[in-house]
A and B are shown apart, each in its own frame.
Chain A
Amino acid sequence: MDDPLNATVDPLDELGGLVGETLNLFDAPVNPGSANRSPATHGGLPAQHSDSPGFGAAGPRSSPDAVAQSIDLDLLGGGPGVTSSLVTAPTGAPEVDVPLIAEDDVTLGFGYEPPSQQQPQKSFGVGPLGHVEPLSHSAAAHVSSVSAAAAAQPSPRNSYRELQPDDGPSTSAGAGPSTSAGGASTSAAASAAPPIRVWVRDPERNEAPNKLGIRTTYFTYLVRTESVLPGMRTDGTEVRRRFSEFDALHKLVKAHYRGYIIPPLPEKSFIDAKLAHEDFLRLRRADLQAFLRGIVNHPALRDAEALKLFLLQPGELHYNPAWIGLLHSIGSSPDGQESLVGALGVSVGGGGGGSAGAKAAAGFNSLVAWVRHSVGVGGGPRRELDEDEQQLRHAKELMRDLERLLQLCCESARVMCGHMEALAADMYELGRNMGMLSKWEETLRAHSGTYTEAGYSASKRAADCKQLSYATARQHTMWKSASVKTAASLVALHDYYIIMPEAVAALEERERCLDQIHELEADLAAKQAELSKSGGAAGRGLQGRQTQGDRRAYTLTNAVDKLEEQLKVCRDTYALIKGRNMEELRRLHLSREADFHAMMCHYSAVQAQLMQASADMWRTTARQFAGEPVEGSGISADGDSPRQDD
């Protein structure tokens, strides 16, 4: 624990260990809450959400009543669960009983209708539930207790990632004890193993006909999971997954955990994937592993239903009913956002009037809504943002700034590593030249004979040149490996750089939800005004018209009720997302702090090590040149300069 430089041995795992330790502070409060709240609403994801087709066929807007209720229960139940389990974390388990699978229904919760059928919901809910519930239950129960050591390595996609020796269980296992590098001094549970550990390995080429019947090549990766959680085999589970399945997992998690910062996935790259370069595969493997680890180590995301399916279900996922169910629940078409808003609009329109229908037709998206809202033409009075909201918006700006700064940093770090490599290359060149020179002098010596004066001096020169050539060759190796290590040590910069857009997305999720609230409030206000007007009219109206007026009033009241109901759901969602946002920001901030700190420790340790090694090497070389011990050179070998056993 005292030797900070152990950290550099296995940078990634080390970082992970550090972060995990720091995050320990949060994990206890965070987990129960997130576990309970995970089956929350969603709907604001522009890219990934859509009207679920399967559900639509079964009668989409007929069931949500029960769902909405279940959500309410869930939220209510979640509340105490969260508070009570803040300290005694593991007790949060009971609330988890609310099936995660209910999320898809929540989608429709916005379009609230009187209860009529619950059948569709069940048809989806039961199958997966029966299968998965034990897992999620037990997972939640354990998460808190074990989460302390979770390596919350946040987001990973980087070309240098590949350099980390994090490839196997043995290396990663060493991460626990060496966490002291950053000085994060939470000692509790520091040595506990993370609850789930995953590795992505062995890219394998496969061929299969695609939808058009053309055979295409794709790669699958071996995903190995080891977990101490009950319900998972401790000796590890291995499945093969392809990129599209990773992608689906990303979408699922993103849809189910609105407001959380989801680890980013590597880009889809059709050309590279087709060419399937060795490098590309290696990078992608590393990126995918980092992505999975990001999810697995996230205090909330690791409870995701989809993750369990992904990690544990054998066989291809698109034949797995539970997986298909999940996919259907979020819909799979990319323009889901629009259709969701559309559905919302229609349902609102059905409840209460033409204006909402017009909105639906206009294909409202949240951006437009936001603009309308912010310029105050939305009809509703311009609302003051409360303090939290303002803070969060400010945080978003900060994130954007941070992204820019990180980009700069990444860029300059890249340049720096490039220079180091170039320097190494030049060292090599110099060494080569010196070697040639040495050989050449050697030839002269051979010509003029060893014992002549010329021969003697030539051999002396040859020896000197050779000496330098050795020295530069060693420098070359040192610098080269140091440039790689430097790059690896600075990988956190890139990690955070790529996570920033995700963070902004998570924050925008909340803003969209707020916009929906404002929309609904505007509608509600309009309806209420209408109601009071018609109520007045009814009071003044004739007897014969009264029934009509009553009917209208009844309809309006109904609509208002529905709107209120929706508003409530929306507000709850908003509160939920806001809570998550703040949690995530706090988590991100702290993990960033720890990660950057560890990164810089690691970085400076690498530099110090390089320089120390170079100094030693040059000193020896100089000694050899002089043929005498060096003295008074001002170099002290015992100084505080760090050493490393690596």
Chain B
Amino acid sequence: MDPPPYESVLQDHGTNNFFAPATVSKEFEIEVTDPVKQGDGVAAYVSYKVRTKTTHPSYAAPFNEVIRRFRDFAWLHDKLVEKNKGVIVPPLPEKSAVQKYQMSTDFIDQRRRALQVFVNRVASHPVLKDSRELNTFLQANEEAWMLEIAKWQAETSAQHRPVNTAAQWLKSLQHSAQSLVSGRAEEIQEDSEYIKIRDYVNSLEGHLNEAHRQAGRLLRKEADLGSALSEFATAAEALGKQDEVGPMRSAFGCLFSRAGEVAALSKARSEALVNEFAAPLKEAARTIKSVQAAMGDRAAALTAYSQAKSDLDSKKVRLAKLRGTPGLKEDKIAETERDVNEADQRLRNAKLGYETIRDTMREELNRFQKERAAELSALLRDFALAQATYTAAQAKAWGELLADLQNVPQQAAAAEAQ
């Protein structure tokens, strides 16, 4: 199943639907609505209503509505990443401390849209849509939900205990020292196909950010142009008012009102484009981050795999040595053998883990590329269409102005005739 393009996962988007998104029967339709500011000061947050309409068999009711805040979306995201290694989990919108405290309506609305896109993407993902986490997120009542969150918070704080990380770091250091000592490069290599894609994705991020930046600049320029136009029209109107009632005055009046119209048009449009053009680009850039996170997981699994392998190797060497040494206690040898077996087991686990991730990722990357192609196409098409409509509206406004202007002398002549 082709993943839906960005805009088609938005339910409330109806302003420029020239191509009504193909109405495929979807399992999930999720709306994020009604942002409400809760609390005050530093602890203030915004809660959203998450309305679900679903045909998925594991859901009790076809309609459900829960109240969630940004942190809860973050829970969903983190859990999904944790449980689905190798899957490209749709990205969350950025946490922005500054903007959060400002809590401007624009920001909240943009975030609401982004969250809605996020949750719909999860729900349309072939793997993630069946996940228990999504189910919990969409259905859990207040109490169950609070419990989940509390558990999660406890876990994360435990995970982030500094000692732990330090120990892990030491371990990895030891491992690299081992491979240095053994004088061998890591035996297990990524396949070249994957490396190509990894490089591609890494540079894609830069490109997308650049595109987003440029789009933003373009939109700002258009807004600037709009305001410059209205300024000009104001100046022209003042100029026209300097004359007594006459054709000039009315002509400049025409210009003023039309230009005001056009300026309002361009303002509205540049605002709309922020949501319709710039935001998807931004989201695409964020998705790259998710891809990179998945790649990070894969790299970590690979490291664990090769670590386990070298571990096993060294254990085997040690066992061989012990066997070759006469007069050693049997139990020592047995212990080492057990070690070797354990290491072997670990290696097998690591291998399995890595291979699972690799297989998942192969699929995911294909899906990702295809999705990107579809999205880009839809995005650009929508952009072009929005431009077309907008410019056509402008052309109409200007054409009307022209007609008005041409009428002015005739009106004046008519007035004189009377």
Would A453 and B370 count as touching, CB distance under 8 A? yes
Cβ 8 A contact of B242, one of A402, A430, A614: A402
Interface residues in B395-418 by Cβ distance below 8 A to A read 395-396, 398-403, 405-406, 408-410, 413
Is B384 part of the contact surface with A, judged by Cβ < 8 Å? Answer: yes
- Which residues from A are CB-within-8-Å of B258? 604
Would A423 and B399 count as touching, CB distance under 8 A? no
A454 to B225, CA, bound (A): 41
Top 9 closest pairs, chain A to chain B, by CB: A608-B398, A611-B395, A625-B381, A618-B388, A622-B384, A183-B409, A615-B392, A614-B391, A457-B373
* Bitwise interface map of B from 226 to 261 toward A, beta carbon under 8 Å scored 1, else 0: 001101101110110010001110011011001000
Q: Chain B interface: which of A145-153, A297-305, A462-470? A: A462-470
Min CB gap A134→B, angstroms: 41
Closest residue of chain B to A405 (Cβ to Cβ) is: B239
Q: Chain B interface: which of A107-115, A164-172, A314-322, A411-419? A: A411-419
Is A409 part of the contact surface with B, judged by Cβ < 8 Å? Answer: yes
Is B221 part of the contact surface with A, judged by Cβ < 8 Å? Answer: yes
Min CB gap A462→B, angstroms: 9
Min CB gap B246→A, angstroms: 7
Is A406 part of the contact surface with B, judged by Cβ < 8 Å? Answer: yes
A424 to B142, CA, bound (A): 53
Q: Is the interface of B mostly helix, strand, loop or mixed?
A: helix
Interface residues in B37-82 by Cβ distance below 8 A to A read none
Question: Which among B247, B372, B387 has the greatest number of chain A C-beta atoms within 10 A?
Answer: B387
A418 to B224, CA, bound (A): 10
Q: How large is the interface on A (under 10, 10 to 19, 20 to 34, 35 or more residues)?
A: 35 or more
Is A639 part of the contact surface with B, judged by Cβ < 8 Å? Answer: yes
- Which residues from A are CB-within-8-Å of B388? 614-615, 617-619, 621-622, 630, 633, 635
Would B373 and A405 count as touching, CB distance under 8 A? no
Closest residue of chain B to A440 (Cβ to Cβ) is: B207
A454 to B409, CA, bound (A): 64
Min CB gap A618→B, angstroms: 4
Would A409 and B18 count as touching, CB distance under 8 A? no
- Which residues from B are CB-within-8-Å of A453? 366, 369-370
Would B210 and A608 count as touching, CB distance under 8 A? no
Q: Besides A600-B251, A642-B399, 4 other CB < 8 A contacts?
A: A433-B207, A604-B401, A640-B396, A641-B396
- Which residues from A are CB-within-8-Å of B398? 604-605, 607-608, 611, 641-642
List B residues at the A interface (Cβ < 8 Å): 18-19, 193, 196-197, 200, 203, 207, 210-211, 214-215, 217-218, 221-222, 224-225, 228-229, 231-232, 234-236, 238-239, 242, 246-248, 251-252, 254-255, 258, 262, 365-366, 369-370, 372-373, 376-377, 380-381, 383-385, 387-389, 391-392, 394-396, 398-403, 405-406, 408-410, 413
Cβ 8 A contact of A604, one of B211, B248, B255, B376: B255
Q: Is the interface of A mostly helix, strand, loop or mixed?
A: helix
A642 to B395, CA, bound (A): 8
A465 to B217, CA, bound (A): 18
Closest residue of chain B to A635 (Cβ to Cβ) is: B392
A400 to B259, CA, bound (A): 26
Min CB gap A202→B, angstroms: 36
A425 to B400, CA, bound (A): 29
A642 to B76, CA, bound (A): 54
Would A615 and B395 count as touching, CB distance under 8 A? yes
Is A634 part of the contact surface with B, judged by Cβ < 8 Å? Answer: yes
Given contacts A461-B373, A625-B380, is CB(A182)–CB(B409) below 8 Å? yes
Cβ 8 A contact of A457, one of B18, B232, B370, B401: B370
- Which residues from A are CB-within-8-Å of B401? 600, 604, 608
Interface residues in A589-610 by Cβ distance below 8 A to B read 592-593, 596-597, 600-601, 604-605, 607-610
* Bitwise interface map of A from 274 to 310 toward B, beta carbon under 8 Å scored 1, else 0: 0000000000000000000000000000000000000
- Which residues from A are CB-within-8-Å of B19? 626
Would B251 and A419 count as touching, CB distance under 8 A? no
Would A454 and B369 count as touching, CB distance under 8 A? yes
A457 to B373, CA, bound (A): 6
Would B373 and A460 count as touching, CB distance under 8 A? yes
- Which residues from A are CB-within-8-Å of B373? 457-458, 460-461, 464
A436 to B258, CA, bound (A): 39
- Which residues from A are CB-within-8-Å of B217? 426, 429
- Which residues from A are CB-within-8-Å of B215? 430
Cβ 8 A contact of B221, one of A426, A454, A593: A426
A401 to B235, CA, bound (A): 12
Question: Which among A440, A615, A632 has the greatest number of chain B C-beta atoms within 10 A?
Answer: A615
Is A448 part of the contact surface with B, judged by Cβ < 8 Å? Answer: yes
- Which residues from B are CB-within-8-Å of A415? 228, 231-232
Would A608 and B239 count as touching, CB distance under 8 A? no
Min CB gap A370→B, angstroms: 26
- Which residues from B are CB-within-8-Å of A430? 211, 214-215, 218
Question: Which among B207, B222, B258 has the greatest number of chain A C-beta atoms within 10 A?
Answer: B207
Would B389 and A608 count as touching, CB distance under 8 A? no
Is A420 part of the contact surface with B, judged by Cβ < 8 Å? Answer: yes
Would A639 and B377 count as touching, CB distance under 8 A? no
Given contacts A600-B252, A607-B394, A607-B398, is CB(A406)–CB(B239) below 8 Å? yes
A632 to B409, CA, bound (A): 37
Given contacts A611-B398, A614-B391, is CB(A621)–CB(B196) below 8 Å? no
Closest residue of chain A to B255 (Cβ to Cβ) is: A600
- Which residues from B are CB-within-8-Å of A605? 398, 402
Mind listing 29 A-B residue pairs with CB under 8 Å?
A4-B402, A402-B242, A409-B235, A412-B232, A413-B232, A415-B232, A422-B221, A423-B221, A423-B225, A426-B214, A430-B211, A440-B203, A460-B373, A597-B247, A597-B248, A597-B409, A600-B255, A604-B255, A608-B395, A608-B401, A612-B391, A615-B388, A625-B377, A633-B385, A634-B389, A635-B388, A639-B396, A641-B395, A641-B398
- Which residues from B are CB-within-8-Å of A615? 387-389, 391-392, 394-395
A632 to B18, CA, bound (A): 6
Is A9 part of the contact surface with B, judged by Cβ < 8 Å? Answer: no
Given contacts A612-B395, A640-B400, is CB(A4)–CB(B406) below 8 Å? yes
Would A611 and B225 count as touching, CB distance under 8 A? no
Cβ 8 A contact of A427, one of B18, B193, B218, B372: B218
Would A461 and B372 count as touching, CB distance under 8 A? yes
- Which residues from A are CB-within-8-Å of B229? 416
- Which residues from A are CB-within-8-Å of B200? 444
Cβ 8 A contact of B228, one of A416, A454, A596, A641: A416
- Which residues from A are CB-within-8-Å of B387? 614-615, 618
Min CB gap B5→A, angstroms: 12
Min CB gap A398→B, angstroms: 7
Closest residue of chain B to A636 (Cβ to Cβ) is: B392
A467 to B196, CA, bound (A): 25
Cβ 8 A contact of B225, one of A419, A436, A636: A419
* Bitwise interface map of A from 231 to 245 toward B, beta carbon under 8 Å scored 1, else 0: 000000000000000
Would A626 and B381 count as touching, CB distance under 8 A? yes
A605 to B224, CA, bound (A): 21
- Which residues from A are CB-within-8-Å of B254? 600
A413 to B228, CA, bound (A): 8
A597 to B411, CA, bound (A): 13
A619 to B384, CA, bound (A): 7
Given contacts A444-B200, A608-B395, A640-B400, is CB(A464)–CB(B377) below 8 Å? yes
- Which residues from A are CB-within-8-Å of B413? 185
Closest residue of chain B to A427 (Cβ to Cβ) is: B218
Would B395 and A633 count as touching, CB distance under 8 A? no
Is A559 part of the contact surface with B, judged by Cβ < 8 Å? Answer: no
A617 to B392, CA, bound (A): 10
Is A471 part of the contact surface with B, judged by Cβ < 8 Å? Answer: yes
- Which residues from B are CB-within-8-Å of A633? 18, 385, 388-389
Closest residue of chain B to A416 (Cβ to Cβ) is: B228
Closest residue of chain B to A640 (Cβ to Cβ) is: B399
Closest residue of chain B to A431 (Cβ to Cβ) is: B214
Is A324 part of the contact surface with B, judged by Cβ < 8 Å? Answer: no
A409 to B248, CA, bound (A): 15
Is A540 part of the contact surface with B, judged by Cβ < 8 Å? Answer: no
